[in-house]
Amino acid sequence: MKQTLAASWAWLRVQLFRLWTALIVVGTGGYLWLNKPEYLTWWKRSVDAFVEASCARLPYPWGDRIESTIGNFGIWVQVTLAILIFRAAIGILLMSVRAMHRRSQR
């Protein structure tokens, strides 16, 4: 029973982490859309340039095919990348805090 409860708690923690990070990114996007649209323009151009540069490294015709496919999903790619980058940064920060906390307990 304890093992099931621990597994359920771990699953719930993961889902809550995913939920609040996605909400923060989407909320920030909404705020920027209303107040600072130049940041969204910069983000879109940066993601587009990254996709173009990455696909240019692939052999013809695969690079063109993948670039056009990713381009069709433009806003979703941008939001997904923003969420992943935010989650990675928060994850690194949390791991650092946990490591410092463990060291201070020794």
Residue ranges making up the domain that contains 30: 21-105
pLDDT value of residue 105: 83
pTM: 0.75
Q: Could you read off the pLDDT of 31-77 as tens digits, one per residue?
A: 999 999 999 999 999 999 998 999 999 999 998 998 888 888 888 88
Domain for residue 88, yes or no? yes
Domain for residue 74, yes or no? yes
- The answer to whether residue 2 scores a pLDDT higher than 80 is no
Domain for residue 3, yes or no? no
Domain for residue 73, yes or no? yes
Q: Mean pLDDT over residues 21-37, rounded? A: 95
Count of other CB atoms within 10 angstroms of residue 48 = 16
Q: Mean pLDDT over residues 77-89, rounded? A: 93
Number of domains present in the structure of the chain = 1
Q: What is the DSSP string of the chain?
A: -HHHHHHHHHHHHHHHHHHHHHHHHHHHHHHHHHH-HHHHHHHHHHHHHHHHHHHHTSPTTHHHHHHHHHHHTHHHHHHHHHHHHHHHHHHHHHHHHHHHHHHHH-
